[in-house]
């Protein structure tokens, strides 16, 4: 997507990432430099596949979103590499009240 909006958890609808924080990491995966609200994602150490990574989960429903790496842009140094099947795009911003 190149529209303005919010990426929500496909499982429960929780707002997770903003289109303004999405960038092309060259990986082919949707990548963001930060979540909309740190409280909406949970980070867990993942040692599967013979490597150590940080798994990113939806804090609301526990759904697997992808992984976080420390090779992101200068703004945060973070790259949230997210499975597109774990996201649902909403062109309307989330309620802020």
**Interval 38-88: pLDDT, tens:** 668 999 999 888 889 999 999 999 999 999 999 998 889 999 999 999 999
**Mean pLDDT along residues 20-48:** 90
On whether the CB atoms of residues 56 and 66 are closer than 8 A, the answer is yes
Banded pLDDT at 97 (limits 50, 70, 90): low
**Mean pLDDT along residues 23-48:** 89
In this predicted structure, what is the pLDDT of residue 40?
85
Burial class (CB in 10 A: 0-12, 13-18, 19+), 9: buried
In this predicted structure, what is the pLDDT of residue 19?
93
**What pTM did the predictor assign?**
0.85
* CA gap 25, 93 in Å, rounded: 24
Buried b (16+ CB within 10 A) or exposed e, 21-42: bbeebeeeebbbbbbbeeebbe
Residues catalogued as catalytic: 81
On whether the CB atoms of residues 84 and 29 are closer than 8 A, the answer is yes
Domains and CATH numbers, the chain: 6-90 (2.170.150.20)
Q: Decide if pLDDT at 96 tops 80.
A: no
């Amino acid at each position: 997507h190149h529209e303005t909006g919010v990426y929500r958890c496909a499982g429960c609808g929780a707002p997770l990432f903003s289109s303004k924080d999405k960038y092309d990491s060259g990986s082919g995966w949707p990548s963001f430099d930060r979540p909309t609200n740190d409280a909406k994602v949970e980070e867990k150490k993942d040692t599967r596949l013979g490597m150590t990574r940080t798994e990113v989960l939806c804090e609301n429903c526990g759904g697997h979103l992808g992984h976080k790496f420390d090779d992101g842009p200068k703004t945060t140094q973070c790259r949230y590499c997210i499975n597109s099947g774990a996201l649902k795009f909403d062109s309307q911003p989330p309620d802020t009240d």
